[in-house]
Amino acid sequence: MGCCSWFDLLFSQDSKRKPSRPATSSYSHGSSQEHLLADDTSKQLALDSSQECAPSSVQADYASPSGEEYDSPPSTPRVNGDVSSIISKAVQNHPLRRRALDPSLRNVSYDNLGLAASNSNHVWRPRHIKFSRCAIRGEDYSGKKMINNYVREGVIGIGSYSKVVLCRNVADEELYAMKIVQKSRLRKIKVAPSETALTDVYKEVSIMKELDHPNVVKLIEVIDDPQCDRLYMILEYIEGRCMFEGPGPAGGISEATARKYFKDIVAGIVYLHSCRIIHGDIKPENLLVSGSGQVKLCDFSVSQRFQGNNDELRRSPGTPVYTAPECITGATYHGRAADVWALGVTLYCMLFGRYPFIGETLQGTYDEIVHGTLKLPERLDNQLSDLLKGLLCKDPLKRMTLDQVIQHQYYIGC
């Protein structure tokens, strides 16, 4: 295309003096076609609709039940002369932009709405999950890579199946976390007879789009182009990092901090279970701590739903040292009780900086989880000792429930 990117016009002080940098595509099929940014704002300027791409069958797994549609590629706006003022006005008047800047929304809290929250300072905003099926790669003027209207600022972390980068939305100048997965690679990884690792990603999207709680990381947008080999999940950015990696610092963290974190974690898990969702991988690495010290649960890649009050599950894909004994010995287990066990292991690590059950090998670790004895310091506070014994009870039928945790004196004192 001969047209310059509307980003070049929008964010240049003098678009006529600076040459535009074309946004080049990087589709998996090797297309060399150039595209202008596909965004809702562009739709306001477009007069003709381009042909929509048919969504893939796997995309239907997380299509909105209320009839939400993906954002389709808009037609190419004609850029004759300097139209940066027109585009700037369109961005400022966009409903999502107004919602982000509306001061009245920033003063609305969960308490004002009568909704439960562990942090009364949390600001409530209307949930809007955007689904885009057009992924356009390009660069800004400084040479930073862009995906649609998100500028990549740096890498946050790299996992086994995904990479998470820090990005900035040029529409509202807010920072977000972008989780990137390679679809072709995940399709080859079997996690069950009829499921692949990519299936887990779409399950994660389907679950996260329903969640809205101050102790759970929010999903903002999904970019899944059928012609692109990468899927992008735009997530709420937490300025802090994970609680800690491994068993934590030697000797653990302070008990006062552990109490505060514990209360946030419990609030998040209680919310998930009320939504009939089992997290499946509660551990410090999946607990993000914000700059204000608030804990948020993240990574729902192995989470599962249950129906009614029947939380009996078969697949237990969590981290071995946080796995409940019944997940090791039985064909089925109850998801809520397994999450409570992982909560107990997490609290133990926070307090003591070591795992409650660990062996020299994976099988040795499983043997310790099933048959090992829970070791607690002799001078440990009685309330804390009672709580840990209840959370790490090997019999799931006798294990403490979340309702009992909330009524426990240790929790009440948090």
Q: Clarify whether residues 211 and 276 are in a common domain.
A: no
6 within a domain of the structure (yes/no) = no
Residue 284 pLDDT exceeds 70: yes
The single residue listed with the structure tokens 């008990």 is: 255
Q: Output the average pLDDT for the chain.
A: 75
Higher pLDDT, 322 or 58: 322
Q: Clarify whether residues 228 and 261 are in a common domain.
A: no
Residue 387 pLDDT exceeds 50: yes
Number of domains the chain contains = 2
CATH of the domain at 180: 3.30.200.20
Least confident stretch, 2-6, 315-319, 379-383, 386-390: 2-6
What tokens does 368 get? 């310790």
Higher pLDDT, 167 or 412: 167
The whole domain housing 317 covers 255-412
62 within a domain of the structure (yes/no) = yes
What global pTM score does this model have?
Answer: 0.69
244 within a domain of the structure (yes/no) = no
Neighbours of 130 (CB within 10 A): 16
Residue 59 pLDDT exceeds 70: no
Last residue of a domain, one of 236, 268, 300: 236
Q: Clarify whether residues 214 and 156 are in a common domain.
A: yes
Q: What are the tens digits of pLDDT across the range 65-84?
A: 333 444 434 333 333 334 33
247-253 own/partner pairs: CB under 8 Å, 24+ apart: 247/349, 247/353, 247/354, 247/355, 248/284, 248/349, 248/350, 248/353, 248/354, 249/353, 250/353, 251/352, 251/353, 252/349, 252/350, 252/351, 252/352, 252/353, 253/350, 253/351, 253/353
**In the prediction, which pLDDT does 348 show?**
96
241: pLDDT confidence band, cut at 50, 70 and 90?
A: confident
Q: Clarify whether residues 173 and 299 are in a common domain.
A: no
Q: Clarify whether residues 160 and 284 are in a common domain.
A: no
Least confident stretch, 104-108, 140-144, 369-373: 104-108
- Tell me which residues are annotated as active site: 281
Those residues whose C-beta lies under 8 Å from the C-beta of residue 296, and which sit 6 or more positions away, are 214, 215, 216, 217, 236, 238, 264, 268, 287, 288, 289, 290
**In the prediction, which pLDDT does 6 show?**
42
Last residue of a domain, one of 236, 270, 286: 236
104 within a domain of the structure (yes/no) = no
Helix (H, G, I), strand (E, B) or coil at 322: helix
**In the prediction, which pLDDT does 141 show?**
84
Last residue of a domain, one of 206, 236, 266: 236
Percent residues over pLDDT 70 in the chain: 69
Q: Clarify whether residues 201 and 296 are in a common domain.
A: no
Q: Clarify whether residues 306 and 367 are in a common domain.
A: yes
CATH of the domain at 309: 1.10.510.10
Start-to-end C-alpha separation, the chain? 60
What tokens does 365 get? 């670790």
Percent residues over pLDDT 90 in the chain: 53
**In the prediction, which pLDDT does 188 show?**
92
405: pLDDT confidence band, cut at 50, 70 and 90?
A: very high
Higher pLDDT, 317 or 60: 317
Q: Can you give the length of the chain in residues? A: 414
179 is in an annotated binding site: yes
Q: Clarify whether residues 263 and 223 are in a common domain.
A: no
Q: What is the mean pLDDT of the segment spanning 228-251?
A: 89
Q: Which residues are bridge partners to 179 per DSSP?
A: 164, 233
**In the prediction, which pLDDT does 127 show?**
61
Q: Clarify whether residues 220 and 292 are in a common domain.
A: no
**In the prediction, which pLDDT does 190 show?**
87
Residue 286 pLDDT exceeds 60: yes
Q: What are the tens digits of pLDDT across the range 297-348?
A: 999 989 999 999 999 998 776 899 999 999 999 889 999 999 999 999 999 9
91 within a domain of the structure (yes/no) = no
Q: What are the tens digits of pLDDT across the range 254-265?
A: 999 999 999 999
